[in-house]
Copies of this chain bind each other. A is one copy, B any other.
């Protein structure tokens, strides 16, 4: 494999000049550039990124940290990655998915050494050990999601409070008052979005003087079905449910049907935080509040890039609400 030195020798210039041509970092006369470019072509030269990284301290590679070994990577989650990675490419970066856990330990590998210029965090918990670790190590990062107090940190996140309010309003406009909230359980992973939706739900119900009903369900299709099957029997007074658990949503619908509960005639179901792909799994298709994954992936990468390109600038902090997509699972209260 040809090195810059090889190219320099062949073109009879210094290695510095080759570097200038390769990176466009300084003016070079056309004649010289020509010679260098020809030599590169003849030798099939491509710059060694490791050498460049060591000398410059940058790689233009960034990493998306998603704990795939601990948290299921849903179709909706993939939209964040896809969009962020496309955006990265547009801006001249690479973005790879680094499947490290939330154990801080492994972050060190990234932290130290400039293998990656910065990281994008997903599945952020209210108290997220990764955030402290990255800050500690001085690794530039941005969050998709946010911690309890993200004060001075760059993030983009779903505006979950607004989204929950819209969910409730949609159902109330149809006459519903006894509205449950179904969420994933939280044994150890205090997911920011789930927690904020939960709080917003409780607050809204209290304001309305309506009794809150919070139900937990594992993030699995089969668990959704079991919940659907027993739902009416256990909660006869409920007429609507806000389901924040897209893995369980299709199963929940088939479980309801199996128990003879029709949606929306007997129960309105509104899926909070999902995508067309999941919503189309059921019949009728789910009415849902769409997770702005494509938007947040792009904005999230931009937030990171801003951090990398001007560390002094105030951090980006953006909230994007889910938008309502009509399906066939909500209707007027019976």
Interface residues of A (CB under 8 A from B): 1, 46-51, 53-54, 59, 61, 63, 68-69, 73-75, 78, 81-82, 85-86, 94-99, 108-109, 111-115, 220-222, 225, 247, 250-251, 254-255, 257-258, 276-277, 280-283
Contact = CB atoms under 8 A, between A and B. Distances in A.
A250 B75 CA distance: 15
B47 A112 contact: yes
B113 A99 contact: no
A225 B285 CA distance: 10
A261 to B, nearest CB: 13
Contacts of A46: 108, 111-113
A136 B73 CA distance: 34
A115 B46 CA distance: 13
A94 B98 contact: yes
B280 A48 contact: no
A73 B82 CA distance: 10
A49 B221 contact: no
A85 B69 contact: yes
Of A95, A96, A247, A281, the most chain B CB neighbours within 10 A belong to A281
8 contacts: A61-B115, A68-B81, A82-B99, A221-B277, A225-B280, A247-B277, A251-B280, A254-B281
